[in-house]
Amino acid sequence: MEIAVFGATGRTGSAVLEHAIARGHRVRVLVRTPSKLTTRSPDLEVIPGDAFDTAAVARAVGDAGAVVSAMGAAGLEPTTDLSAMTGNVITAVSARADAPRLSVVLNDRVFHSEDAAPPYTHIVREHKRNLESLRASGTSWVGACPAYIRDEDGTGGYEAVIDAPAHARSISRFDLADFLIDAVETDAFVGHAVGVGASPDAGAERGEKP
């Protein structure tokens, strides 16, 4: 499968890129600074640009069989940048008659009606906006909702809970990357926000749910 990845120079996005290629997929990425990519491969196509540019986003989505968005908020100040960029990705996916599967990194605070405590209030509001856009999109979407993403080696497993927070309050960015790819390879999570956390059993098979 060909997967379009947004946010490929970030912590989670770079892990998605690395793991997708390792799992035999071709990957197309849209990045502002190609020199920041940490993976090089003949199975990687790089499109210079950013996700504020609707034409560039449409080129990146192209005819991909799946799309993964690992974009994140750039700071703690009030902003709609993340939801604007994610909205452009959703629009490009929705424009396809054969709309590809879409998995998007959110945050598990989307399961709570109250606002997050400062300084994370505005970031969580952006993730909630993204979830609302996904639900309204009519696409085959999956929202990956970790509480905290650790910059540690993956375990090869994760806990995935449909429409509720995972029991574990954190997950390795590499295990999260595996979930994001699994989410576009299978039908198990389509149309759901999924709480994702570290597996209760570090040796558990990937995707096993408690």
Provide the CATH number for the domain around residue 185.
3.40.50.720
Q: What radius of gyration, in Å, describes the C-alpha atoms of the chain?
A: 16
pTM of the model: 0.94
* Residue 85 falls inside a structural domain: yes
SS3 string, 165-195, reads: CCCCCCEEHHHHHHHHHHHHHCCCCCCEEEE
Residue 8 within a domain: yes
- The total domain count for the chain is 1
Q: Which residues of the chain have pLDDT under 70?
A: 202-210
What pLDDT score was predicted for residue 110? Answer: 97
pLDDT given at position 200: 84
Determine the angle formed by the axes of helices 173-185 and 11-22, rounding to 10 degrees. Answer: 50
- Report the pLDDT value the prediction gives residue 201, as an integer from 0 to 100: 75
Whether 207 is in a domain gets the answer no
Specify whether the backbone of 134 is left (phi greater than 0), alpha (psi in -120 to 50) or beta: alpha
Residue 164 within any structural domain of the chain: yes
In a domain, 208, yes or no: no
Q: How many CB atoms lie within 10 A of CB 205?
A: 9
Q: Is position 202 within any domain?
A: no
Q: Is residue 88 part of a domain?
A: yes
The pLDDT value given to residue 72: 94
Pairing relationship of beta strands 44-48 and 26-31 according to DSSP bridges: parallel
Structural domain includes residue 206: no
Domain that holds residue 80: 2-197
pLDDT of residue 161: 97
CA atoms within 13 A on the CB side of 30: 26
Residues 85-103: pLDDT tens digits?
A: 999 999 999 999 999 999 9
pLDDT at 180: 98
